[in-house]
């Protein structure tokens, strides 16, 4: 078990919920009994004394205050939407360094937090989906890439060109990339427009960099992923496939961008969908 933020949320939810439950079952009735005993003593109980007896312990007050909030955050992050930050340029030009994105957590099934056990099938990744997953070689690290191959696909990548099941994926030249901020070093790269399934997207290719050749078949329960920045992405060409159990969700929106190298917030990117 990775002692990460979801684990902390689960533990905090259990502790605060348990304290609240123990108070409701044991401590609160005891306080009421003590107050009733004081009131029965001639009816002359001191109001301040009654208030002191009925007062909830500080631990209980904090537990009752934080439990609903922590539970709501846990449910939201585990089953609906989770935020992530893009730390590298491997998905340029689709995603830039400093993009803060939202990930749909139920697109590929409902999974229990921490143990990541799938309890409900709702869908599978499709070619062209931008997915967040736990890096197979270090599950404590989250990666984001584009799905290129689904189970059973024959994937070939050579001479900067992608082939799926012996069919060439067309690339339409779309000019030269002009980078800004942390992506300035990619200026001059070729922009090429691809279509995977129903998804049209741009990729970056640097002609002077020798591409990594790949020829493989995607096994059952796995996916072949690549970064849109084809010559600057650590992806399935180097370390293999993404198991289904490593999937976190599908990226669908940019909700903020902050790149200090570009001067701060890129207001024009806020609210952009991810294709």
Q: Which residues contact 136 (CB under 8 A, 6 or more apart)?
A: 239, 240, 241, 242, 243, 246
Tell me the HSE value of 49 on the side-chain side, using a 13 A CA sphere. 11
pTM of the full predicted structure? Answer: 0.87
| CATH of the structural domain 86-269, one choice from 3.40.220.10, 2.10.109.10, 3.30.1330.10, 3.30.565.10 | 2.10.109.10
pLDDT the model gives residue 49: 78
Q: pLDDT under 50 in the chain at which residues?
A: 1-2
Q: Which helix (H) or strand (E) holds 14?
A: helix 5-22
CB 99 within 8 A of CB 269: yes
Interval 165-206: pLDDT, tens: 999 999 999 999 999 999 999 999 999 999 998 899 999 999
pLDDT the model gives residue 48: 79
pLDDT the model gives residue 1: 39
Q: Tell me the domain boundaries of the chain.
A: 5-79, 86-269
For residue 42, what is the DSSP state?
A: T
Which residue, among 20, 96, 23, 34, has the nearest Cα to 63 in the 3D structure? 20
Torsion of CA 42, 47, 51, 52, to 10 degrees: -80
pLDDT the model gives residue 32: 87
Active site residues: 90, 145
């Amino acid at each position: 078990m990775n002692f990460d933020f979801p684990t902390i949320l689960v533990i905090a939810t259990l502790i605060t919920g348990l304290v609240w439950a123990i108070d409701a079952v044991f401590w609160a009735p005891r306080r009421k009994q003590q107050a009733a005993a004081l009131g029965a003593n001639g009816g002359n109980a001191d109001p301040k004394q009654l208030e002191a007896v009925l007062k909830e312990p500080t631990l209980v007050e904090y537990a009752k205050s934080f439990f609903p909030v922590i539970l709501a955050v846990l449910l939201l992050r585990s089953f609906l939407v989770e935020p992530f930050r893009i730390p590298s340029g491997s998905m340029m030009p689709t995603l830039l360094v400093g993009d803060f994105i939202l990930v749909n957590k139920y697109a590929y099934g409902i999974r229990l937090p921490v143990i990541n056990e799938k309890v409900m099938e709702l869908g599978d990744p499709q070619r062209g989906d931008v997915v967040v997953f736990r890096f197979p070689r270090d599950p404590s690290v989250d990666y984001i890439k584009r799905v290129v191959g689904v189970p059973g696909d024959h994937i070939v990548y050579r001479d900067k060109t992608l082939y799926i099941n012996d069919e060439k994926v067309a690339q339409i030249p779309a000019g030269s990339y002009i980078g800004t901020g942390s992506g300035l070093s990619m200026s001059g790269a070729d922009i090429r427009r691809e279509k995977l399934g129903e998804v049209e997207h741009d990729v970056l290719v640097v002609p002077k960099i020798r591409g990594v050749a790949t020829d493989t078949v995607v096994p059952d329960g796995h996916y072949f992923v690549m970064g849109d920045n084809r010559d600057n992405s650590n992806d399935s060409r180097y370390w293999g496939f993404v198991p289904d159990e490593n999937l976190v969700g599908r990226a669908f929106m940019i909700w903020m961008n902050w790149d200090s190298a570009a001067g701060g917030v890129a207001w024009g990117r806020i609210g952009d969908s991810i294709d």
